Structure 1
């Protein structure tokens, strides 16, 4: 564990995983371009000591590699999180009264730190600013991408209390800075914070809110974790369990909420549910696309407290790989044992970075009867935030679930399109721009397990890669992998992708192919970028078809942008790209940064 952010940064520096940038750098786009290059190279965390026009330094890349994320969470490898939770789940007394309880004693240290500790004095309250003295423009809040509506807090730990039950919640939600003393609060439809606000509305009350920045990085992770609703258990308990020491909490200076004593900053205030919502966005999001302008509540800041010499923590989101992929993987490992309690046949699962969390899930299962892969997929779709999963690929227990593309290739060996693919409908992440309707859309299940006789048995198939591909004027670029064919085109008319697919599937190059992926012209034909683009741009019920190839059925996914004539009546978003002038600036200053 690390007592606070500074302790973590010093530990990273000792490991050679922190680079200090001592020259002035802008919080508008420049830091993003530098940090994006670093995370995609697996480089160190960065501490920008001089941010132009701001009063505090910026730390970024705190979870920038799988190894660094494990270090932040106090384990040697992320798989140790599964082991830790598995041991905890064994804490169940059997029969036998006192003797059974005594048997638990050796395991009770696992719960050390589970309960938060209240303290009277907090380093985060060394400086207290109230009312007119609050000025959020002093903070080096990043403007990340060229079309962003403005700067927004990227690692806020948002604390609220259920107005009815008193249960605490710690979540992470985007917060656009609107002015010196207010922000928007990006509480999406399914978020706990929004539920608290709706309850406050019914009770005719304002909702108190506290927002912490910094502290032990375990606490920052806990705010992102999909913790199931458990009475009396909050993300503070999860963080304490993981760190083996309690999270120290102090009372806010203007709100009746606990705040992390070792945080760097705390914003205190309220949201009035009767106040009209404000326009929020657009913003480049973790999907790699811009999310549109929408209406969200305004958070009024009544106090800003911070420690002397505070450091502002930040991250960036955008086209993967980004550091949020490693936080997602930490949650995978942490919640694998509880998943097995519900679905004991699950051997492992993985959400590949290309799927930006909800778009793609690989699951390996110990199969014992026909249809079991579908049973597992249905069960996963009924668990918490897994309900947002768009594509689930099932494989046998002996198939590794990562890296994602390799797992997909193995699944195709046992998945006959049409017979072993299934389309469903359900809830979809509100940030999914391709869904048939807001937060509602199609899902695709691919059963890539070995088939039993009752399931039709195995169908002989030899995946192929053709060196000569057909020349079609609309196929701008093409590439094949064993059983997979990727094609890009410039979308200009409705139905264009399907017509191109039909033509190409009648050529010899479709022999040995079971999956055809169609993407827009600006997509690079690497497995990672192609799958990222296609999975972002499909509603499976609308954009997936089983079509005839020369050797059998082929699953075709139309990952091109959708036109109004194709039944899509919302604004199709732009892909996130950095301004070329900023890229040139960073390139010219690279040696000056000391990188």
Structure 2
């Protein structure tokens, strides 16, 4: 496939019936978010908003809002094909004499497409704003959620260069518009951009920065991909490999950085490491909670270049499922072969939307010896951005990792609380609001594989024997009239596969732990394996909502407890909010909820948008 840009991709989507146009004026403050959120959650099409109030430029949303559109954007028939492409490349033959080496030539030709290709002129530099001409308010940057600190650029491809080595990096870091020519730069402590800025500080230099908006959808994806630290492999190289040809770049007009030649906009400028950092946020983040205000560097925009008729692409993140779930799935498929090179017993792995990437990883393995589940989990904790994983569940090779119902049933059947669960600690995503410290907290490994004799003492050694120990009668839910009562409990539900879900309105310190102790001692606990304590906003009839809340709200070492029950043992997950009286000093963020007035406005205007009622 020839290199597409956003506009050629839009034409392709429209031909396939995957793009709709909204021709009436819409607001970039919340209204576009509400429309787009409904569409992505219902598997709807991408949308081009042709008239955005306060800007001459149209906005496109949902470019990769389904699994199929994401595959199309990356030039593959399905996301599983990404794993096949990488496996083909890394499976080089090192033996077999001359004929064996000649067999590598087609793969090496693929690898030659990795470095980008410099061009002299580019569509993205057809129009140039410099100096006082720069006014970011003319670009239709969205305010996505009611409590957001302002408008945020949500699909920025932020390009920097190591001041010492010249190594290039591209990452996707949200950018809050602060003024006509300034934005925040959300470089977290583990990000490459932060390292580049620190090196510039030591050298007494400003750090040049270029921010691309748009371009090849494969490059947009590449900016989100957790690339391994391999010399010569960067985001341009990944996009080039996916496309099968070298990516076109052009030198910036005011910065010595290569930028995507086929982008829609480029923001050029610098970050001064000697400047005080600025307050950025709040921001409705991919966790589904708001990230609270914090200090981040300030980006000064000295020039804006663009096409003559650009389109502004954006995305929204928030309560799953969202568009980013498909980008995460693409990364799963792309890096599965690399994980299998290091941990060959891995069959598959999955990061489900309810786990918002890092909170839950499910991995299936070919088990050959006792303790292998822990070996794999600990190995994953050491692989790149997998270090941020909070809960890793290990299952047998015949369990489908993307079937969460089957996974949790297997956890209940195969993992005895305490015996087959292990807490540890390590780096945590800085966006995690529940960890004991900023970027540092507890982790949980659950071994839900079939146990070997060494792992159970004198117990059963086969899955069938264990299954007989955990007969369906053990998991029989109690009648609602037999469930215990406790202060603040708004709703509760037991499931036939051993899960007890509780919505708690927490008003005092220690309330959730007291609830767990009372419930574990109650006769109704005899048929349960897991007690999931949620906040009062959680719908206990919605399993995904329960797990999303619990996984966001726990530090496993602090909040996951093994308690004795009349029927054995119970794993209690304290997913209620934490209070200052409990030693939790950071503010607890709210969940993202759209203003009711905006919902009502979108309902009333839906017929004007020209969008089908099925997506409403």
TM-score with structure 2 setting the length = 0.95
Work out the CA distance in 1 between the residues paired with 2:172 and 2:476: 44
Matched residue SS, 1:542? helix
Determine the structure 2 residue equivalent to 1:477: 491
* SS of corresponding position for 1:94: coil
What is aligned with 2:471? 462
The alignment status of 1:8 with 2:9, answered yes or no, reads yes
1:27-74 deviation per Cα after TM superposition (whole angstroms, max 9, x unaligned): 000000000000100000010000001120000101111111111111
Distance in 1 (alpha carbons) for counterparts of 2:107 and 2:429: 39
The whole-number CA distance in structure 2 between the counterparts of 1:389 and 1:377 is: 10
1:395-434 superposed matches below 5 A:
395-434=395-434
Gaps of 5+ in 2: 461-465, 612-616
Alpha-carbon displacement from aligned partner over 1:84-139 (angstroms, at most 9, x marks no partner): 1110011244362x444322223344336322111000000000111110110001
Name the structure 2 match of 1:544. Answer: 560
**What is the match of residue 525 of structure 2?**
510
- Residue equivalent to 2:129: 129
Cα distance in 2 for residues equivalent to 1:168 and 1:343: 29
Distance 1:350 1:195 in 2: 30
Residue 110 of structure 1 is matched in structure 2 by 110
Q: CA deviation at 1:237?
A: 0.2
- What is the aligned length? 594
Counterpart residue number, 1:500:
515
Shift of 1:216: 0.9
Q: How does 1:105-504 map to 2 (within 5 A)?
A: 105-111=105-111, 113-456=113-456, 457-458=459-460, 459=466, 460-463=469-472, 464-466=475-477, 468-469=479-480, 470-474=483-487, 475-481=489-495, 482-504=497-519
Assess, with a 3 A threshold, how the Cα gap between structure 1 residues 191 and 522 changes in structure 2: closer, same or farther.
Answer: same
2:40 is equivalent to residue 29 of structure 1: no
Secondary structure of the residue aligned to 2:170 is strand
Give the Cα separation in 2 of the matches to 1:442 and 1:188. Answer: 19
Query: In angstroms, what is the RMSD of aligned CA positions?
Result: 1.2
8 Å Cα contact 2:269/2:303 also seen in 1: yes
| CA distance 1:465–1:124, change in 2 (3 Å) | farther
Deviates more, 1:261-270 or 1:466-475: 466-475
Q: CA deviation at 1:245?
A: 1.8
Q: 1 CA distance for matches of 2:445 and 2:121?
A: 53
Q: Secondary structure at the match of 1:376?
A: helix
Structure 1 residues without counterparts, runs of 5 or longer: none
Q: Does 1:566 align with 2:566?
A: no
Q: In the aligned structure 2, how far is the partner of 1:575 from the partner of 1:388?
A: 21
**TM-superposed deviation, 1:471:** 4.5
Alignment partner of 1:266: what SS? Answer: strand
| Aligned counterparts of 1:398 and 1:590: Cα–Cα separation in 2 | 45
Residue 370 of structure 1 and its aligned partner are, at CA, apart by: 0.5
1:511-556 CA-to-partner distances (Å, cap 9, x unmatched) read 2211110001110121100000000000011111001122010000
Farther-moved stretch of structure 1 (190-199 vs 463-472): 463-472
